[in-house]
């Protein structure tokens, strides 16, 4: 998520809904924030298949082949 879309300020302990493009949203508690980045802890652990799906989605494995930009 772009830093300009994050609530300002983000407090440690705050619960956020994280919704990556193409993936199921999940909740996480903020552990630290600063310099436009943040660290968080999941409120619920991913099952193996959920983590695998999230990784594959972020890699673009489910995108249409013509939508991928190779070499970037």
Give the span between the Cα atoms of 37 and 64, in whole angstroms: 30
Q: Are 26 and 41 in contact (CB under 8 A)?
A: no
State how far Cα 20 lies from the chain centre. Answer: 5
The sheet with strand 15-18 has its strands ordered as 15-18, 26-34, 37-42
Please write the tens of the pLDDT for every residue from 1-53. Answer: 555 666 667 889 999 998 888 888 999 999 998 887 889 999 999 999 999 98
Banded model confidence at residue 66, pLDDT cuts 50, 70, 90: low
Domain ranges (residues) in the chain: 3-67
Q: CA-based angle 6:47:60, to the nearest 5?
A: 60
Query: What pTM does this model have?
Result: 0.67
pLDDT of residue 63: 73
């Amino acid at each position: 998520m772009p830093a300009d879309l994050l609530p300002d300020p983000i407090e440690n302990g705050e619960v956020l809904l994280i919704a990556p493009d193409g993936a199921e949203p999940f909740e996480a508690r903020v552990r630290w924030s600063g310099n436009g980045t943040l660290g968080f802890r999941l409120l619920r652990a991913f099952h193996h298949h959920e983590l695998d799906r999230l990784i594959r989605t972020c890699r673009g494995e489910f995108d249409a082949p013509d939508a991928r930009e190779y070499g970037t």
